[in-house]
Chain A
Amino acid sequence: TQLLEQSPQFLSIQEGENLTVYCNSSSVFSSLQWYRQEPGEGPVLLVTVVTGGEVKKLKRLTFQFGDARKDSSLHITAAQPGDTGLYLCAGATGYALNFGKGTSLLVTP
């Protein structure tokens, strides 16, 4: 069962553009994590959001957790080619993390 829906599935933009990736669910999560995965590698944690309405910034990346703790967004300002990768959101189900299908981002120079 896929509890987390991510959109868009694919995104191709030019360097310098802004973008937002969404992660939505009908379930409430105690916390939500965002990972980035590069080709041939495993996912690497970017951030964990815990409190409803929480906003966290990681350089040009801004993460927000919805007030009801059912959804989250990732906003990238002035995207760079190094931001290229698969972005995954994951929510805790009690015994393990449940992942969304991911958003594949390509940033071209």
Chain B
Amino acid sequence: NAGVTQTPKFQVLKTGQSMTLQCAQDMNHNSMYWYRQDPGMGLRLIYYSASEGTTDKGEVPNGYNVSRLNKREFSLRLESAAPSQTSVYFCASSGRQGNEKLFFGSGTQLSVL
């Protein structure tokens, strides 16, 4: 049972480049989330999807877009990367929205030069 799988594990971009972070879960969970983790800032919610077909902004959505492709997959896109987006990105899923236990992927370390 793989749980939550994120790709890639590491990525280096130049300012202005675009990329998509992929996330898939095999637990039949309804809700999926994207967080970023920065030193001294903790985990901050970027976007979430309460169920297939819906997406909503979290605390820090600017500069990002998301797609809930199907129940399993939730991708995060940076259209024009900026150095401020250098961070570790985590995808997570839960059975339902709200206070359910979160299952996290192992993260994507992104550097924007």
Question: Is the beta-carbon distance between B104 and A44 smaller than 8 angstroms?
Answer: yes
Q: Which residues of B are found within 8 Å of A101, using beta-carbon distances?
A: 40-42
- A-B complex: 4 closest residue pairs judged by Cβ atoms: A42-B104, A92-B99, A101-B42, A99-B43
Q: Count of A residues near B, CB < 8 Å? A: 25
* Stretch with Cβ within 8 A of A (4 or more), from B66-74, B76-84, B90-98: B90-98
**Number of contact residues on B: which range applies?**
20 to 34
B4 lies within 8 A of A99 (CB) = no
**A88 contacts B59, C-beta separation under 8 Å:** no
Q: Give which listed residue, B35, B98, B101, contacts A94 with CB less than 8 A.
A: B98
A30 within 8 A of B: yes
Docked CA distance A44–B104 (Å): 7
Q: Are B56 and A95 in contact (CB under 8 A)?
A: yes
